């Protein structure tokens, strides 16, 4: 496993695949589409900007960054964040592998990767020591993006792993033996702290915790952080929480900003300045086997994941990300239900 900055240059067509450039930014389907200086017109403009932005390219890490996307709380946006950040990093010019470590296989589905029971999968890697290269598939429509899919077999792996040699470090070994050059590996964890998540924590150096901006957001996080400490102490000294991402941020609610404040006062520097707004487009994309980046590149969801990816890439090379220099994000009117987006970027 190595990073090779010369492998993937800036892409000529950064967002291949179907585009819905004129689909309004999460605008209700019932709303008749207005013209020109309207949310829809602005969304079209933003789509174009987003494409230009993606083509810019970003500094690439010297070594492959292995990021574990974990939170044992269910439904906080782990999978959504994994696939959309991975696609954003790939569109920014990186080579990115998504490892689907959840038996639900949601990341595989969202990336349009076949993962029925017979498909070679991460289960074969973990339990039968199959090389990772035998299961990795290219993601359709996004150059530089790859996926190691999960099948339903993985549901039994937690138990099967117990009796295997080096049960906690099987993923780490598989990744170390993987020869392909990569800039990022993003591991989508299941909502639990079992052996699958432990394998991810042993394999990675960075933990990325998505936190949903809602009541009880921080509940259970202590347990995750204790697990990170335990793994760091016994199995993986380089492990640390590098990134916290606020998801499903709804700026119309006071609760969301209260949660955001609390998370920022708790974690400080690890929290990305970019937060991800609640967005219908983000939740629709997986049912088309797509990320929001290809499904609706001009939507607030796509733009915020692109921006979050930019922030992560800059942090990785120690460039200070300053919100002042952040790409302008869309301005929505007071009456626009998507004002959350603007408020979400703090």
Ligand X SMILES: Nc1ncnc2c1ncn2[C@@H]1O[C@H](COP(=O)(O)OP(=O)(O)OP(=O)(O)O)[C@@H](O)[C@H]1O
What is the contact surface with ligand X in residues (CB under 6 A)?
A: 74-80, 102, 106, 191, 247-248, 276, 278-279, 282-283, 301
| Cα 166 from Cα 144, distance rounded (Å) | 31
| Cα 243 from Cα 315, distance rounded (Å) | 10
Kindly state the DSSP code that residue 329 receives in the 8-state scheme: P
The distance of closest approach from Cβ of residue 270 to ligand X in the complex, given in angstroms and rounded to an integer, is: 18
Residue 185 in contact with residue 64, Cβ under 8 Å? yes
The distance of closest approach from Cβ of residue 249 to ligand X in the complex, given in angstroms and rounded to an integer, is: 8
User: What does 53 interact with, of ligand X, Mg ion, none (CB < 5 to 8 A by kind)?
Assistant: none
| Cα 15 from Cα 297, distance rounded (Å) | 8
Interface size with Mg ion, residues (CB under 5 A): 3
User: What does 74 interact with, of ligand X, Mg ion, none (CB < 5 to 8 A by kind)?
Assistant: ligand X
Q: Which of 137, 142, 143 is closest to 114 using CA atoms?
A: 137
- Helix-then-strand count for the chain, H and E: 13, 7
Backbone angles phi, psi at 261, to 5 degrees: -60, -45
- Beta strand 145-148 with 137-138: parallel, antiparallel or unpaired? antiparallel
User: What does 233 interact with, of ligand X, Mg ion, none (CB < 5 to 8 A by kind)?
Assistant: none
| Cα 108 from Cα 252, distance rounded (Å) | 32
| Cα 127 from Cα 70, distance rounded (Å) | 21
Of the listed pieces 46-54, 86-94, 101-109, 178-186, which binds Mg ion according to CB under 5 A? 101-109
The distance of closest approach from Cβ of residue 150 to ligand X in the complex, given in angstroms and rounded to an integer, is: 11
Q: Is residue 73 a contact residue for Mg ion (CB under 5 A)?
A: no
Q: Is residue 197 a contact residue for Mg ion (CB under 5 A)?
A: no
- For Mg ion, the nearest residue by Cβ is 79
Nearer to ligand X, 60 or 82 (CB): 82
3-state secondary structure of 77: coil
Q: Is residue 79 a contact residue for Mg ion (CB under 5 A)?
A: yes
User: What does 203 interact with, of Mg ion, ligand X, none (CB < 5 to 8 A by kind)?
Assistant: none
Among 53, 65, 73, 78, binds Mg ion (CB under 5 A): 78
- Where do contacts with Mg ion occur on this chain (CB under 5 A)? 78-79, 106
């Amino acid at each position: 496993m190595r990073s090779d900055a010369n492998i993937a240059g800036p892409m000529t067509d950064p967002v291949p695949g179907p585009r819905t450039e004129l689909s309004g930014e999460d605008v209700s389907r019932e709303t008749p589409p207005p013209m020109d200086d309207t949310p829809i017109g602005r969304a079209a403009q933003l789509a174009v900007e987003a494409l230009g932005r993606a083509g810019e390219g970003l500094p690439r890490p010297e070594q492959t960054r292995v990021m574990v996307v974990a939170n044992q709380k269910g439904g906080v946006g782990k999978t959504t964040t994994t696939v959309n950040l991975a696609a954003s990093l790939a569109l920014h010019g990186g080579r990115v592998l998504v490892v689907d470590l959840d038996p639900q296989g949601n990341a595989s589905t969202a990336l349009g990767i076949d993962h029925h029971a017979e498909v070679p999968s991460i289960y074969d890697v973990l339990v039968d020591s199959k090389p990772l290269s035998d299961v990795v598939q290219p993601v359709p429509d996004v150059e530089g993006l790859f996926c190691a899919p999960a099948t339903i077999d993985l549901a039994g792996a937690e138990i099967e792993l117990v009796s295997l040699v080096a049960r906690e470090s099987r993923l780490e070994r598989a990744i170390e033996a993987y020869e392909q050059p990569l800039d990022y590996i993003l591991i989508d964890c299941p909502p639990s702290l079992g052996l699958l998540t432990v394998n991810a924590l042993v394999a990675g150096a960075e933990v990325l915790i998505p936190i949903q901006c809602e009541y009880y957001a921080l509940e259970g996080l202590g347990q995750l952080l204790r697990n990170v400490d335990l793994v760091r102490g016994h199995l993986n000294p380089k492990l640390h929480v590098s990134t916290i991402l606020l998801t499903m941020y709804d700026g119309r609610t006071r609760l969301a900003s209260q949660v955001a404040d609390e998370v920022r006062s708790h974690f400080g520097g690890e929290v990305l300045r970019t937060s991800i707004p609640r967005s219908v487009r983000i939740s629709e994309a997986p049912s088309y086997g797509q990320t929001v980046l290809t499904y609706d590149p001009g939507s607030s969801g796509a733009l915020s994941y692109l921006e979050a990816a930019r922030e992560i890439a800059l942090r990785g090379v120690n460039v200070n990300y300053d919100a002042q220099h952040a790409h302008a994000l869309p301005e929505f009117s007071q009456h626009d239900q998507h004002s959350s987006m603007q408020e979400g970027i703090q």
